[in-house]
Amino acid sequence: MYIQQIYTNCLAHAAYYIEAGGEAAVIDPLRDPEPYIKLANERGATIKYVLETHFHADFVSGHLDLANKTGATIVFGPGATPDYKVYVADDGELLHLGKAAIEILHTPGHTIESTCYLLLNEHGNKEAVFTGDTLFVGDVGRPDLLSGNLPKETLAGMLYESLRNKIKTLQDNIVVYPGHGAGSACGKNIGTSSYTTIGEQKSGNYAMLIEDKDAFIEAVTTDLPMIPGYFFTDAVINRKGYTSFDDVLTASLKPLSVAAFKTLQSDGALVLDTRNPMEFAAGFITGAINIGLNGDFAVWVGTLIEAATPLLLVTDAGKEKEAIERLARIGFENVQGYLDGGMNSFFATNEAYDKIMTFTGAECTALLEIENYDLLDVRNRREVLKHRMTGATHIALNMLKSKYETLDKNKKWLIYCAGGYRSMIAASFLKSCGFHFVASVEGGIKEVLAQAPELVEMDME
C-alpha cells in the first residue's frame, strides 16, 4: 500500500493519493488533474475513485476533470446533493482498493455532508484516517462556511457528536491526514505539522479535550476569522459543477500587445500584477493591484477582488500559466489575457506608469517626525497583540476592502506588515481606490525592530 500527501502551500491544502494492488484513490484533488494522472501513470496504477470529503469553500476541486479523464468514480458521503453524477456512499460502507479498503465515516459538522475516509490495510487493520476539514492538527473545521441554512451553533453540535462517536473511538496509533495545514481559513489556528495521530489529538487538541457539548459549541463558534468572499462562490461551484480546466487555460492564456492590453483596461478590466513587491513598486501600470505569486496569492486575490472581475495579468516571463492555474483553483476564470513581454514591453512604449515609494526601517523615524506620515498596520490581530509601531492605525488586510473608506485619502500613509508582502498589496489597493500618498516599509516590522526599535511597542496583550 502506498500513500502520498500532495501539499499546496498557497492554499495550505493537502490532497492525497492512496494506492493498493494497482488501484488508486485521490482525495480532495485541486483543479488541475494532471499531477494526479501523472503520478498514477508513473506507478502503473489506475485511478478508481475520486473521494471528496465535502463541498469545499476555499478552492475549486479537480474531481470532475479527474473523473472525466480517468473514468474514476466520484464519491461523496451521506447528505451530498451535487448537480452532477456521483456515488453517494452510506455511512460505514466499504470501498475496495486492491486488497485494502476505505470505510466511509460520515462526520457532519464542518458541513452537513462532511465525511472522513478510514483506510484499512490488506489485513483489515485500521491504518489511517483522512479527515478533510473535520479534524486538523490542533484544531477542528469551523462550522460557519456555508452548509444550507443551518446556524453555526447547530453544525457545531453535529461536529461535537461526530468527534465523540466517530473520531475519538478510533485507536490512538491511527495516523490522521488532515485536509489543511497552518494558514488555512478553514480553521481558527491549525498546527504546522502535516499529519498527526488520533492519540496526539486526543491529548493536545483543544476541541477534542472538551467534554461538555455546550462548552464545545461555545469554543468552536467564537473568535472565528473573517470568511474570504470567494469561499461562498467556490462552495456553490463545487456543488453545481464548472468549466473544464483545459477550457479555462485555453480561454485565458492569451498574449496581449500593450495597445490591446490598455484597451481592455479602459473597458473595465482590472490589472493584476503578480511580480514581487519591490519590482512592482519600481514601476507599474496605473490602477494595477499587486498580489505576488511568491506569497499567499490565491487567498489574497479571493479576499480583495470579486470572482467575476475581468482580469489582465502582468507576470514575470514564464509565469503566465502558473498565475492562471492558481486563479482557476479558486474559481477566478475571467482572465482576459496577459501582457506579452511583461513590463519590459510596456516600458519600451514610453507610456506613463506609476510607482510606490518604499522605505527602510531606519528611514521611518524621519518620515514620521518630518514628513508627517501616518502609520497603517495591515497585519492580523494576533500579530498586532505581540507588537506594533506606536500610533499605528490597524486594519487587517482581509478587512481593508470593507474599511478603507474610514481612512483619509489626503493623508500620507506609511503601510507595514510582517515582511513587506501584504503592505505592498495594501498600498496598491489603496492607490487603485484613489489614495495618492501611500508608501510601504521594506521588510516590514521585522526591519523596523532591527533598525529603529524605539518606534515599536511590545506585548500589546
Please write the tens of the pLDDT for every residue from 431-461.
999 999 999 999 999 999 999 999 999 876 5
Position 148 pLDDT exceeds 70: no
What's the pLDDT score for residue 410? 93
Quickly count: other Cβ atoms within 10 Å of residue 382's Cβ: 11
What's the pLDDT score for residue 149? 73
Task: For 219-259, write each residue's pLDDT tens digit.
Answer: 999 988 888 889 989 999 999 999 999 999 999 999 999 99
Last residue of a domain, one of 207, 232, 257: 232
Task: For 133-147, write each residue's pLDDT tens digit.
Answer: 999 999 999 999 865
What's the pLDDT score for residue 147? 56
* 265 and 289 inside one domain: yes
* 279 and 368 inside one domain: no
* 146 and 15 inside one domain: yes
CA distance linking residue 291 with residue 281, whole number of Å: 12
* 6 and 152 inside one domain: yes
* 57 and 160 inside one domain: yes
Last residue of a domain, one of 289, 313, 348: 348
What's the pLDDT score for residue 191? 95
- Does a structural domain hold residue 237? no
* 247 and 295 inside one domain: yes
- Does a structural domain hold residue 101? yes
* 290 and 427 inside one domain: no
Last residue of a domain, one of 232, 254, 287: 232
Task: For 327-367, write each residue's pLDDT tens digit.
Answer: 999 999 999 999 999 999 999 999 999 999 999 999 999 99
Q: How far apart are the first and last CA of the chain?
A: 49
For 30, 111, 220, the CA distances from 142, given in Å and listed in that order, are 21, 9, 7
Total number of domains constituting the chain: 3
Position 265 pLDDT exceeds 80: yes
Task: For 369-425, write each residue's pLDDT tens digit.
Answer: 889 999 999 999 889 999 999 999 999 999 999 999 999 999 999 999 999 999 999
CATH of the domain at 69: 3.60.15.10
- Does a structural domain hold residue 432? yes
* 3-class secondary structure per residue, the chain: CEEEEEEEHHHCEEEEEEEECCEEEEECCCCCCHHHHHHHHHCCCEEEEEECCCCCCCCCCCHHHHHHHHCCEEEECCCCCCCCCCEECCCCCEEEECCEEEEEEECCCCCCCCEEEEEECCCCCEEEEEEECCEECCEECCCCCCCCCCCHHHHHHHHHHHHHHHHCCCCCCCEEEECECCCCCCCCCCCCCCCEEHHHHHHHCHHHHCCCHHHHHHHHHCCCCCCCCHHHHHHHHHHHCCCCHHHHHHHHCCEECHHHHHHHHHCCCEEEECCCHHHHHHCECCCCEECCCCCCHHHHHHHHCCCCCCEEEECCCCCHHHHHHHHHCCCCCCEEEEECCHHHHHHHCCCCCECCEEECHHHHHHHHHCCCCEEEECCCHHHHHHEEECCCEECCHHHHHHHHHHCCCCCCEEEECCCCHHHHHHHHHHHHCCCCCEEEECCHHHHHHHHCHHHEEECCC
- Does a structural domain hold residue 137? yes
CATH of the domain at 278: 3.40.250.10
- Does a structural domain hold residue 440? yes
Dihedrals φ, ψ of 260, to 5°? Answer: -65, -40
Domain containing 424: what range? Answer: 357-458
What's the pLDDT score for residue 44? 98
- Does a structural domain hold residue 238? no
* 160 and 56 inside one domain: yes
What's the pLDDT score for residue 62? 97
- Does a structural domain hold residue 264? yes
Mean pLDDT of the region 180-185: 92
> What is the chain's alpha carbon radius of gyration, rounded to the nearest angstrom?
24
Position 82 pLDDT exceeds 80: yes
* 111 and 186 inside one domain: yes
* 149 and 58 inside one domain: yes
What's the pLDDT score for residue 348? 96
Task: For 5-36, write each residue's pLDDT tens digit.
Answer: 999 998 999 999 999 999 999 999 999 999 99
